[in-house]
């Protein structure tokens, strides 16, 4: 197997304590096939079984110099950040600091539009004159149903607006997640980066994970490859952004995924609330945002927004997932509740994404995860 993968230019690097099994060798073969089929230069894979990490492996390269991608290489988490943020929020809910159904207007010391347009947060001043912002709650923000586009710059005039009645339908919005961060920081006086460090990263021993750039990351850092094969240097993110500033490694995120499946850090009812089908999804695909709603008979059955994740029902029962993507990043965390099983895929090459459906279902078995909804445009 090793000779075959080296012949394809793919170097497999695994954590010895968890990867020397027949299952790990099978995962390595599947990853090798995926990289060969897509031309992806780097891919990291973790498998969770019964709430424990059963395999963590990394393949290929972390940069154009050919330095190997390892299980501890710092990679961009992208929108996987949103799921970790939701986990953090649910801890605040347990402590009585956040009520999912209390309007953000009741947390903020002054009306949201009066903050104006803040480069570090959002264009809240654009909402002046639309009192519907007062209806928005943490639950609405975590289910992507505030009525915002992904970000205000996606609007034709680049002005933030509410496009439908808050809470009435799902439409992906990073801006909504940032609004919840703003609410926690302005209304409760929290520093989100510190909260996530203490509540998540320290809890699970995620030593190579942070919501902001750390200089020590440079020693083992992944650059990325775009669809055209061009290299994109890793961005040194200088702001905490709940929508997607997290850097992590496959070894670190596997620890979080396993802990989440065991129920660590949350009471049973809080975890169940996070994975509850909060809001049925009515669009044919996730993107573009604000896609027309389908007639009820044509919608994805069992597909719904949870809190920070998407839930579904398939041949193995209930499951959930969260993706993460930019021009040079392809990530997914996909799980089935039966057997507390997950696959985590982190790639520093966006081309790998095409192989994710086949790879996840080959490892977990047929999941029923609605891949066409996740990836169709």
Q: DSSP string of 195-261?
A: HHIIIIITTTT-TT-BSS--GGGGGGB--EE-TTS-EEPPP---S--TTT--EE-HHHHHHHHHHHH
Residues 171 and 256 in one domain: no
Residues 216 and 356 in one domain: yes
Residues 10 and 155 in one domain: no
Residues 119 and 259 in one domain: no
Percent of the chain surpassing pLDDT 70: 94
Residue 205 located in a structural domain: no
Q: How far is CA 93 from the centre of its chain?
A: 20
Summarised one tens digit per residue, pLDDT across range 174-187 is 999 999 999 999 99
Residues 268 and 358 in one domain: yes
Residues 138 and 277 in one domain: no
* Residue 359 belongs to domain with CATH number: 3.40.710.10
Is the pLDDT reported for residue 318 higher than 80? yes
Over residues 64-80, mean pLDDT: 98
Residue 230 located in a structural domain: yes
Is the pLDDT reported for residue 97 higher than 80? yes
Helical ranges in the chain per DSSP H: 2-7, 16-19, 22-38, 80-94, 138-142, 174-188, 192-196, 250-262, 268-275, 356-364, 371-375
The mean pLDDT of the chain is: 94
User: What sign results for the dihedral spanned by CA atoms 239, 150, 41, 255?
Assistant: positive
**β partners of residue 44:** 58, 346
Rounded distance between C-alpha atoms, residue 234 and residue 22, angstroms: 34
Over residues 345-361, mean pLDDT: 98
Residues 74 and 96 in one domain: no
Answer yes or no: are the C-beta atoms of 68 and 43 closer than 8 Å.
no
Summarised one tens digit per residue, pLDDT across range 105-130 is 999 999 999 999 998 899 999 999 99
Residue 196 located in a structural domain: no
Instruction: Name residues whose C-beta falls within 8 Å of residue 17's C-beta, 6 or more positions apart in sequence.
Output: none
Residues 217 and 304 in one domain: yes
Rounded distance between C-alpha atoms, residue 61 and residue 229, angstroms: 13
Residues written for the chain: 377
Residue 203 located in a structural domain: no
Number of domains in the chain: 2
Over residues 83-94, mean pLDDT: 98
Q: The whole model's pTM is what? A: 0.94
Residue 254 located in a structural domain: yes
Rounded distance between C-alpha atoms, residue 317 and residue 324, angstroms: 24
């Amino acid at each position: 197997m090793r000779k075959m993968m080296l012949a394809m230019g793919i170097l497999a690097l695994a954590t010895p304590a968890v990867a020397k099994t027949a299952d790990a060798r099978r995962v390595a073969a599947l990853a090798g096939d995926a990289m060969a089929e897509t031309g992806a230069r780097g891919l990291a894979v973790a498998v969770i079984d019964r709430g424990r990490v059963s395999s963590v492996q990394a393949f290929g390269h972390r940069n154009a110099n050919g330095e190997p991608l390892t299980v501890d290489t710092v990679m961009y988490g992208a929108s996987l950040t949103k799921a970790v943020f939701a986990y953090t929020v649910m801890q605040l809910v347990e402590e009585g600091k956040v009520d999912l159904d209390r309007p953000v207007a009741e947390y903020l010391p002054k009306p949201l539009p009066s903050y104006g347009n803040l480069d570090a947060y959002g264009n809240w001043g654009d909402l002046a004159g639309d009192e519907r912002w007062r209806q928005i709650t943490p639950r609405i923000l975590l289910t992507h149903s505030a009525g915002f586009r992904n970000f205000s710059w996606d609007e034709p005039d680049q002005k933030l607006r509410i496009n439908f009645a808050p809470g009435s339908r799902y439409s992906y919005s990073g801006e909504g997640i940032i609004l919840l961060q703003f609410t926690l920081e302005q209304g409760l006086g929290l520093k989100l980066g510190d909260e996530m460090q203490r509540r998540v990263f320290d809890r699970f021993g995620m030593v190579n994970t942070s919501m902001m750039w750390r200089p020590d990351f440079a020693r083992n850092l992944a650059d990325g490859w775009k669809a055209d094969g061009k290299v994109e240097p890793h961005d040194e993110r200088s702001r905490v952004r709940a929508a997607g500033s997290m850097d992590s490694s496959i070894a670190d995120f596997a620890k979080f995924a396993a802990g989440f499946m065991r129920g660590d850090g949350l009471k049973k009812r809080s975890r169940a609330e996070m994975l509850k089908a909060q809001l049925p999804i009515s669009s044919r695909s996730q993107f573009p945002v604000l896609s027309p709603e389908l007639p009820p008979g044509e919608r994805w059955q069992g597909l719904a927004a949870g809190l920070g994740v998407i839930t579904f029902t398939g041949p193995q029962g209930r499951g959930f997932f969260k993706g993460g993507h930019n021009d040079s990043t392809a990530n997914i965390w996909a799980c089935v509740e039966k057997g507390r099983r997950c696959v985590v895929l982190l790639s520093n090459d966006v081309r790998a994404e095409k192989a994710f459906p086949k790879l996840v279902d080959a490892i977990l078995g047929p999941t029923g995860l609605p891949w066409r909804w996740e990836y169709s445009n």
